[in-house]
Chains A and B, each alone.
Chain A
């Protein structure tokens, strides 16, 4: 049994945004118009947040890719009245769309703003629906959706490994954001495997987790040089 986690090296991240684009394409995220975007109803499972700091007349911008941190003690799961969101055996906070009633309690409970709600029937203009990823569902109006750590890729990779007569190895599973990152800032893998790249990075002195004080025990580590 694996316990999936991710490490994001902020010192490598250039803020190019290719992870956002790759996530959109991989997970069949819908596009909203400018009026909806103004109401903060933009669909992102992963956002790159810029942070501007000024010190000694020098302006520096740092970027932080933020996605669902897949808490080991997820606040969203506690409030879901229908068990549509739950912590899977492998540590992924899942959202079962067929069960979701759209109450959005989980969105209110999430300290990371990681979930988005389908206010309207999602639309894929032109040929976009025909290009949808068949391994990922097309969501519908009235459900909350979120990052799944590209769980469909985990299933595929495990099948491929089993057909080759072996178990999963480090590097067998990669998320769409990881694959797209030109700076190789994102690393995905099994946190329970002490030899995996991600667990080595998680042990790094540069590693920290967002809102660690809340006790949610996230599995996404951000690495940054400490002042």
Chain B
């Protein structure tokens, strides 16, 4: 009986201390988890930004400067329908084969192209320009009817020795609207949005 009378005050004290200890531990854990999440977000964000900045790698190191500069070819010799059609094209083996059914040089890149042509396998070019799903863009309206040069929207692609892995001109709706305004073309939504 006396033992029981003497003991009660002790347990609450230890219990209180235990609760305090546990809560500070939980807070520390919470901080750690938050820090880990922030670090993870930073790493992921950085990776995304880095990936976005990195140019796309093309399967063959196509030299635009050689074709346009030295050989004096026009963009539309290979990019068919850029003037006559609504949608321009990226040339593939059917177009390349006109000149490259046999290798014309010692170039390793050309050898690879000739292999593609010989095997009939299509070159998996990476597309670097993409018209958004909700936009109607007609090439012939701008090039043939509007008299706009390819370089206005695509930049000096013809001077590029290295393969083009990213758009040289960043196109946005603001870009389109400013040009429309400057050249006195309507900016009615329905002309471009579909």
Contacts and interface: CB of A to CB of B under 8 A. Distances in A.
B194 A152 contact: yes
11 contacts: A88-B188, A88-B189, A92-B190, A94-B193, A96-B190, A98-B132, A137-B133, A151-B194, A152-B194, A155-B141, A159-B86
A147 to B, nearest CB: 13
A59 interface: no
B156 to A, nearest CB: 28
Nearest to B84: A163
Q: Majority SS of interface residues in chain A?
A: loop
A156 B145 CA distance: 13
B111 interface: no
Given A86-B189, A94-B189, A96-B189, A135 B194 contact: yes
Interface in B109-150: 132-134, 136, 138, 140-141, 144-145
Given A159-B140, A163-B140, A163-B144, A151 B190 contact: yes
B130 to A, nearest CB: 14
B84 to A, nearest CB: 9
Contacts of A37: none
Contacts of A151: 190, 194
Contacts of B3: none
Interface string A149-193: 001100110010011000000000000000000000000000000
A103 to B, nearest CB: 18
Q: Majority SS of interface residues in chain B?
A: loop
B169 interface: no
Interface residues of A, number: 22
A124 interface: no
Nearest first, the 5 A-B pairs at minimum CB distance are: A94-B190, A98-B134, A88-B190, A137-B194, A96-B193
A154 to B, nearest CB: 9
A97 interface: yes
Nearest to A162: B145
B191 interface: yes
Contacts of A135: 86, 136, 194
A98 B193 contact: yes
A162 B63 CA distance: 36
A200 B68 CA distance: 55
Contacts of A159: 86, 138, 140-141, 145
Contacts of B190: 88, 90, 92, 94, 96, 148, 151
Interface of B: 86-87, 132-134, 136, 138, 140-141, 144-145, 186, 188-191, 193-194
Contacts of B141: 155, 159
Given A137-B194, A159-B145, A162-B145, A89 B188 contact: yes
Contacts of B134: 96-98, 137
Contacts of B194: 135-137, 151-152
Contacts of A136: 194
Interface in A91-144: 92, 94, 96-98, 134-138
Nearest to A143: B134
A155 B191 contact: yes
A86 B145 CA distance: 27
A13 B118 CA distance: 58
A187 B94 CA distance: 43
A77 B133 CA distance: 24
A88 to B, nearest CB: 5
Contacts of A162: 145
